[in-house]
């Protein structure tokens, strides 16, 4: 419970939004909306996740762990907008202008039309924005902002809700895209009321392990594009660099002839990515075998272990099992089942998988290999990366071969499989 007292009146900070209409109209009588005016940032990975650029009048919320690179990314985005479109405004409630200048020099940000303001009062920010008329605004962070309409402290539930709603109204009225940085809790969720994520148009999460140089930008809500796309960046001394070929990036240090290591073709939105999945199976010397999983669902791994024992005859119940997706990327789609099972079987039998083999497929409780979506793009990515053989569900292989066309251009062997036992035999 939090007490909230209005300092002046009960009107919201932004007043009534001019873009709202109180008169109901037939949907057939409403004028066609103009084409979404998108501003390309020319940072390909960012534009991909946004759905093709920043939409005019949109409000985007970006969350992530402290130090992960949120401010660095948005400073680079504003630099590109300032270079291509016109003035851009970076508002920070946590750093002074001198500190931002130091970071900008390290990143090589020199755009003359990039303006910096150190301010936490919503009214002052709006006044500056109305005078400057920027093409985009970054608020770093929303938890530090406050409006004088409320007497509560910055960061409180009321302040976050009201300032976010007021910034949304300002963005819609002026067709100015606003990008908000959001702090996260120790559980990884964006701090503040849940309504904050409902107010904004787009919610992005910036993920990554500080021990690895990669960063993943992922959309969990997007009113103007898909929520399945990801952007991959590499953290360097001079800022973030795009990773245009994630498959090569994640497979760069793959060990040769190592038992328990397999390459699987995953799909993130429309982008196929080849990732290395490793498993380590060792006899357990304690009363209860340990299970440690990184990058995939632990419950899914437990299910696949049961299928391996019951359907494939691999008795792993008395062994410690560790599963890891190399590079720290997190995978969720069902197509990773076959990769997990093959890696565990390879480590259990201490037999390396042919390094020129890639695989994908969903595993059912009866041990059957089920079809997955968009196998063509996965196979094409594997062929581009130089793999010679691909194990895939039989039904997928039949449709790909019968479809003709692109089948003639594949330079790798398609190996259809129907059951988990068959997969283990072929990988032996």
> Which residue in the block uniquely carries the two structure tokens 């701090």?
191
Q: What is the mean pLDDT of residues 278-284?
A: 94
pLDDT at 406: 46
Q: How would you class 54 by CB atoms within 10 Å of its CB: exposed for 0-12, middle for 13-18, buried for 19 or more? A: buried
Strand partners, 393: 417
Q: Reduced to 3 states, what is the DSSP secondary structure of residue 5? A: coil
pLDDT at 327: 81
Q: What is the mean pLDDT of residues 80-109?
A: 92
pLDDT at 2: 65
Cβ atoms within 10 Å, residue 153? 9
Q: Reduced to 3 states, what is the DSSP secondary structure of residue 6? A: strand
Least confident of 190-199, 271-280, 372-381: 190-199
> Where is mean pLDDT largest: 104-113, 164-173, 235-244?
164-173
Check if the beta carbon of residue 170 is closer than 8 Å to that of residue 126: yes
| Cβ-based neighbours of 31, under 8 Å, separated by 6 or more | none
How confident is the prediction for the chain on average, in pLDDT?
88
Position 252 confidence tier, pLDDT thresholds 50, 70, 90: confident
Q: Is the pLDDT of residue 408 over 50?
A: no
Which has the higher per-residue pLDDT, 372 or 18?
372
Q: Tell me the domains of the chain and their CATH numbers.
A: 36-244 (3.40.50.300), 249-427 (3.30.230.10)
Could you tell me the pTM of the whole model? 0.78
Q: Is the pLDDT of residue 33 over 60?
A: no
Position 237 confidence tier, pLDDT thresholds 50, 70, 90: confident
Nearest partner of 311 among 386, 363, 388, judged by Cα: 363
Q: Is the pLDDT of residue 407 over 50?
A: no
pLDDT digits (tens, 9 = 90+) for 332-390: 899 999 999 999 999 999 999 999 999 999 999 999 999 999 999 999 999 989 999 99
Q: Is the pLDDT of residue 154 over 60?
A: yes
End-to-end CA distance of the chain: 61
Check if the beta carbon of residue 134 is closer than 8 Å to that of residue 116: no
Question: How far is residue 361 CA from its own chain's centroid?
Answer: 22
pLDDT at 249: 82
Least confident of 58-72, 223-237, 273-287, 401-415: 401-415
Strand partners, 59: 178
Q: Is the pLDDT of residue 187 over 80?
A: no
> Which residue in the block uniquely carries the two structure tokens 């089942």?
337
pLDDT at 405: 44
Q: Is the pLDDT of residue 64 over 80?
A: yes
Q: What is the mean pLDDT of residues 21-31?
A: 77
pLDDT at 32: 64
pLDDT at 359: 95
Q: What is the mean pLDDT of residues 52-58?
A: 91
Distance from C-alpha of 193 to C-alpha of 186, rounded to nearest angstrom: 15
Q: Is the pLDDT of residue 14 over 80?
A: no
Compute the Cα dihedral for 109, 110, 113, 118 and give only its sign: positive
């Amino acid at each position: 419970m939090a007490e909230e007292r209005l300092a002046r009146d009960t009107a919201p900070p932004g007043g009534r939004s001019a873009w709202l209409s109180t008169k109901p109209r037939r949907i057939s009588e409403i004028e066609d909306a103009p084409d979404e005016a998108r501003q390309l940032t020319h940072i390909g990975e960012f534009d991909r996740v946004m759905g093709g650029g920043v939409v005019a009048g949109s409000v985007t919320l970006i969350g992530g762990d402290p130090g992960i690179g949120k401010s660095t990314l948005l400073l680079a985005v504003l630099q590109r907008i300032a270079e291509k479109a016109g003035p851009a405004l970076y508002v920070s409630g946590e750093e002074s202008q001198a500190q931002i200048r130091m970071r900008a020099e390290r990143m090589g940000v020199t755009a003359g039309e990039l303006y910096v303001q150190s301010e936490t009062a919503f009214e002052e920010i709006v006044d500056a924005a109305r005078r400057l008329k920027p093409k985009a605004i970054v608020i770093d962070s929303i938890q530090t902002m406050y409006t004088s309409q409320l007497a509560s402290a910055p960061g409180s539930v009321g302040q976050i809700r009201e300032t976010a709603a007021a910034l949304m109204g300002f963005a819609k009225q002026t067709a100015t895209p606003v990008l908000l940085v959001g702090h996260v809790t120790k559980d990884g969720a964006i701090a503040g009321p849940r309504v904050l994520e409902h107010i904004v148009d787009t919610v992005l999460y910036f993920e990554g392990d500080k021990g690895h140089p990669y960063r993943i930008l992922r959309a969990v809500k997007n009113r103007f594009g898909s929520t399945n796309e990801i952007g991959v960046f590499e953290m360097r001394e001079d800022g973030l660099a795009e990773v245009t070929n994630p498959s090569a990036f994640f497979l760069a240090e793959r060990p040769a002839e190592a038992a328990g290591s397999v390459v699987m073709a995953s799909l993130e939105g429309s982008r196929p990515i080849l990732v290395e999945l490793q498993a380590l199976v060792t006899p357990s010397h304690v009363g209860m075998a340990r299970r440690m999983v990184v990058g995939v669902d632990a419950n899914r791994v437990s299910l696949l272990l049961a299928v391996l024992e019951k359907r494939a005859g691999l008795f792993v119940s008395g062994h410690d099992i560790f599963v890891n997706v190399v590079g720290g990327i997190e995978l969720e789609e069902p197509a990773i089942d076959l990769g997990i099972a093959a890696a565990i079987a390879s480590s259990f039998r201490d037999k390396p998988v042919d390094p020129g083999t890639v695989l994908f497929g969903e595993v059912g409780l009866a041990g059957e290999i089920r079809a997955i979506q968009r196998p063509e793009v996965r196979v094409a990515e594997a062929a581009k990366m130089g793999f010679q053989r691909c194990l895939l569900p039989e039904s997928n292989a039949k449709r790909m071969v019968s479809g003709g066309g692109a089948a003639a251009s594949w330079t790798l062997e398609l190996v259809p499989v129907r059951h988990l036992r068959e997969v283990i035999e072929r990988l032996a």
